[in-house]
Amino acid sequence: MNYCSNPTELKITDMRFVDIDGAPKRCTILRIDTNQGISGFGEVRDASSKTYALMLKSRILGENPCNVDKIFRKIKQFGGHSRQGGGVSGIEIALWDLAGKAYGVPLYQLLGGKFRDEIRVYCDTDVDGKHTGHDMGLALKKRMDMGFTFLKMDLGIGLLLDEPGTLNAPLGFIEDMKKYASHILNVQGGSVTADMVKHQKSYSIVTTAHPHTGIHLTEKGLDFLENYVKEVREVIGYEVPLAIDHFGHICVEDCIRFARRMEPYNLAWIEDMVPWMYTDQYVRLKNSTTIPVCTGEDIYLKENFKVADYFEVSNATFVKPHKHDIKFLFI
């Protein structure tokens, strides 16, 4: 029991932030302080901006953090899809953390009680810099040695940016991606720089939806990616489930070509191949491959889920059900 807290008199007095350096993407941790000396912690989504949480500070000061749903309903209008939801979600995480501390119980107790003692999780893995499928396989093998029994890796056109003849794109676009992509994902100051605005790159690089970039995979590019996954499987074997994430930047027709190349390698799923809102394209993709297709982490709020559209695909299964972050796995 937390004898230092009187939950009915608890009030929010401040919200502070710290930026995490050295993570794969930039990351901000927020802390909500109270008048009784206890604090709650939350995370603004990776590669998002703490501005999405900062703008909500004046709206939560003085509130009782134990009234989680009341505060959430008050601020949810200021969130949005993808990284724009990071502020609202980070604050709600911190509120639940505070509520658990105020009442002296684990958070799961406030959400209906414990259901199990253990849960299987997958381990996402990346390798910095230029590397081969064999290198990725060795990194994944280390995760298996740690006890993980389900693996996921990033696989996308980033592997092809320095490989001649693997991508077809509007002249200059690939060069712009190589120049600005690392800043968009990793620099704490935000996605758009003065240089990007000056040279009118902020729109084309940051906000163009993947199917509309004009980037296509060549047969050489598909050969490269297939060989990469083959090398990974040669290291880790075919028994362990392996999912793929973060492809992006190509049209659904190229997604279909890619998926068919991947079918021999027993993938658990391919994730976020096209933006989630193009439900008709997900239907096309799922009906064109035997690999399960996964999406949904960028959808903000359950109200925005067009369940009927997704269930046009047979056997849609929920993965990661969450108030703001839901994934569908099509099998």
pLDDT for position 269: 95
Return all residues near 267 (Cβ < 8 A) that are at least 6 apart.
Answer: 229, 242, 243, 244, 291, 292
pTM: 0.82
Domains of the chain: 7-110 (3.30.390.10), 123-169+214-330 (3.20.20.120)
Tell me the mean pLDDT in the region 83-106. Answer: 92
Phi, psi angle pair for 154, to nearest 5°: -80, 140
Question: Quick check: 319 and 268 in contact, CB under 8 A?
Answer: no
Q: What is the mean pLDDT of the chain?
A: 84
pLDDT for position 228: 98
When mean pLDDT is compared across 3-17, 168-182, 243-257, the lowest value belongs to 168-182
Tell me the mean pLDDT in the region 265-291. Answer: 92
Q: Using one digit for the tens of pLDDT, what is the confidence trace for 134-171? A: 999 999 999 999 999 999 999 988 899 889 999 998 88
Question: Quick check: 289 and 259 in contact, CB under 8 A?
Answer: yes
pLDDT for position 208: 77
Instruction: Show the tokens assigned to 215.
Output: 């980037």
Tell me the mean pLDDT in the region 267-289. Answer: 91
pLDDT for position 188: 46
pLDDT for position 323: 44
Give the residue with greater pLDDT, 242 vs 21: 242
Tell me the mean pLDDT in the region 185-212. Answer: 60
Q: Is 178 helix (H, G, I), strand (E, B) or coil?
A: helix
Whether the predicted pLDDT of 279 surpasses 90? no
CA distance 276 to 263: 22
In three-state form (DSSP H/G/I as H, E/B as E, the rest C), the secondary structure along 210-225 is: HHHCCCEECHHHHHHH
CA distance 249 to 211: 6
Phi, psi angle pair for 229, to nearest 5°: -65, -35
CA distance 297 to 269: 14
Whether the predicted pLDDT of 292 surpasses 60? yes
Q: How many residues does the chain have?
A: 331
Whether the predicted pLDDT of 216 surpasses 60? yes
Whether the predicted pLDDT of 16 surpasses 50? yes
Q: Rounded to whole angstroms, what are the CA distances from 46 to 82, 102, 185, 274?
A: 10, 28, 8, 19
pLDDT for position 181: 63
CA distance 168 to 30: 42
CA distance 104 to 61: 23
